[in-house]
């Protein structure tokens, strides 16, 4: 990680300097937030801090209006959008069933081509997903807080219309940030509102779905199945009923892995160092007051 970041700084025309001489601090290790106070105390000339996070909720206690802050906002969207495509295609084309087979299975599967989809959330992941799915000719409804249309979607509606959308679609994709309003958004009633042949995908946070209600819906066939990259609790404990359900595919929070993310955040660092040297506005600024 250190080498990749040093290369990014140098490729942008920057110099890696001792911490008391640097004008900018590239804070690269997402797992090292606890070390930040000791570091910034030594960084007496630093005016700008670049963080590796897309969302800074775990770092917010360190934000300080005396610095300019930037983060990895948006850079991790393409791998997560690719996970959504992987999950949709795996579900529609019955890959989990075939992966578990030890004899020639029955011919099953349906096309994602031309399917009707709903995405909850209109952020960077959704934008990136819309660019990947464009050639599939799908009918895509975005459900978001504000009615502002998302380019590439068939239509954009607000969260108040969610219950009208659920019975219409082949798959519901959760790509939201977790807030008090979105916690438990998909519960027993909303799962019942979905079609029996529809899939639920969650790449947001486990807390968006009421897990016990999902277990019931999957067992009773109220929905076709679920693909979960996030769970509540997470990690999902050994022996949890979801592990035993053939119509539930669990991936271990790999929408974006550190290996996938490193070259992407390095690109952001390269861009921002070049802008910092040229006194241009930086990409991905954090509003310290709003905390994101």
Report CA-CA distances (Å) from 24 to 15, 34, 84, 194, 292. Answer: 10, 19, 35, 50, 19
Active site (annotated) includes residue 155: no
The answer to the question of residue 249 lying near a copy of itself (CB under 8 A) is yes
Kindly give the interhelix angle for 2-11 and 258-277, rounded to the nearest 10 degrees. 30
Q: For the chain, what's the residue count?
A: 292
With beta carbons less than 8 A apart as the criterion, state whether 250 and 218 touch: no
From candidates 16, 37, 64, 105, binder to a copy of itself by CB under 8 A:
105
Stretch that binds a copy of itself, among 20-28, 29-37, 201-209, 250-258 (CB under 8 A): 250-258
The answer to the question of residue 257 lying near a copy of itself (CB under 8 A) is yes
The answer to the question of residue 187 lying near a copy of itself (CB under 8 A) is no
Report CA-CA distances (Å) from 152 to 101, 137, 143, 187, 200. Answer: 38, 11, 14, 29, 21
Stretch that binds a copy of itself, among 26-34, 51-59, 101-109, 196-204 (CB under 8 A): 101-109
Q: Which string of DSSP letters, residue by residue, matches 96-163?
A: HHHHH-SS---------TT-EEEEE--SHHHHHHHHHHGGG--EEEEEESS-PPPTT-SEEEEGGGHH
From candidates 17, 44, 134, 147, binder to a copy of itself by CB under 8 A:
134
Structure tokens at 218: 């999957």
b/e map 151-162, b = 16+ CB within 10 Å:
eebeebbebeeb
Closest distance to a copy of itself from the beta carbon of 174 (Å): 18
The answer to the question of residue 99 lying near a copy of itself (CB under 8 A) is yes
Task: Report how far residue 118's alpha carbon sits from residue 130's, in angstroms, rounded to the nearest whole number.
Answer: 11
Task: Report how far residue 247's alpha carbon sits from residue 219's, in angstroms, rounded to the nearest whole number.
Answer: 9
The answer to the question of residue 12 lying near a copy of itself (CB under 8 A) is no
Stretch that binds a copy of itself, among 11-19, 55-63, 91-99, 177-185 (CB under 8 A): 91-99
Q: Which is nearer to a copy of itself, 85 or 274 (CB)?
A: 85
The answer to the question of residue 110 lying near a copy of itself (CB under 8 A) is yes
- 185 three-class SS: coil
Active site (annotated) includes residue 205: yes
Strands of the sheet with 68-70, listed across from one edge = 24-26, 48-50, 68-70
Active site (annotated) includes residue 240: no
Exactly one of 168, 234, 240, 275 is catalytic; name it.
234
Task: Report how far residue 112's alpha carbon sits from residue 138's, in angstroms, rounded to the nearest whole number.
Answer: 8
Closest distance to a copy of itself from the beta carbon of 180 (Å): 27
From candidates 39, 254, 282, 283, binder to a copy of itself by CB under 8 A:
254
Structure tokens at 58: 């775990």
Stretch that binds a copy of itself, among 100-108, 140-148, 203-211, 215-223 (CB under 8 A): 100-108
Exactly one of 62, 145, 253, 275 is catalytic; name it.
253
Task: Report how far residue 267's alpha carbon sits from residue 72's, in angstroms, rounded to the nearest whole number.
Answer: 10
Q: What x-and-dash track marks residues 20-59 binding a copy of itself by CB under 8 A?
A: ----------------------------------------
* Enzyme catalytic residues: 205, 234, 253
Applying CB under 8 A, which residues contact a copy of itself?
78-79, 82-83, 85-86, 89-90, 92-96, 98-113, 131-132, 134-136, 235-238, 243-244, 249-254, 257, 259-260
């Amino acid at each position: 990680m250190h080498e990749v970041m040093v290369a990014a700084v140098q490729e942008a025309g920057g110099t890696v300097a001792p911490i008391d001489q640097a004008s900018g601090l590239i804070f690269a290790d997402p797992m090292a937030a606890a070390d930040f106070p000791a570091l910034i105390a030594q960084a007496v000339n630093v005016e700008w801090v670049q963080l590796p996070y897309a969302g800074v909720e775990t770092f917010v206690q360190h934000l300080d209006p005396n610095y300019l802050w930037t983060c990895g906002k948006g850079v991790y969207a393409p791998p997560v959008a690719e996970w959504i495509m992987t999950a949709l295609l795996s579900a529609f084309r019955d890959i989990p069933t075939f992966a578990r087979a030890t004899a020639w299975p029955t011919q099953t599967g349906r096309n994602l081509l031309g399917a009707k989809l709903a995405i909850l959330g209109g952020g960077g992941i959704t934008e990136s997903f819309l660019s990947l799915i464009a050639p599939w000719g799908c009918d895509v409804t975005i459900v978001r807080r504000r009615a502002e249309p998302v380019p590439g979607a068939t239509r954009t509606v607000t969260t108040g219309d969610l219950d009208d959308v659920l019975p219409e679609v082949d798959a519901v994709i959760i790509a939201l940030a977790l807030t008090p309003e979105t916690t438990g958004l998909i519960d027993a009633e909303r799962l019942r509102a979905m079609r029996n042949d529809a899939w639920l995908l969650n790449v947001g946070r486990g807390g968006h779905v009421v897990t016990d209600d999902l277990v019931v819906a999957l067992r009773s066939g109220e929905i076709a199945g679920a693909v979960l990259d996030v769970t509540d609790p997470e990690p999902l404990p050994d022996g949890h009923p979801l592990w035993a359900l053939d119509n539930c595919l669990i991936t271990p929070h790999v929408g974006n892995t550190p290996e996938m993310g490193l070259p992407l955040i390095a690109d952001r660092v390269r861009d921002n160092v070049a802008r910092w040297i040229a006194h241009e506005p930086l990409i991905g600024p954090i509003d310290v007051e709003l905390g994101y």
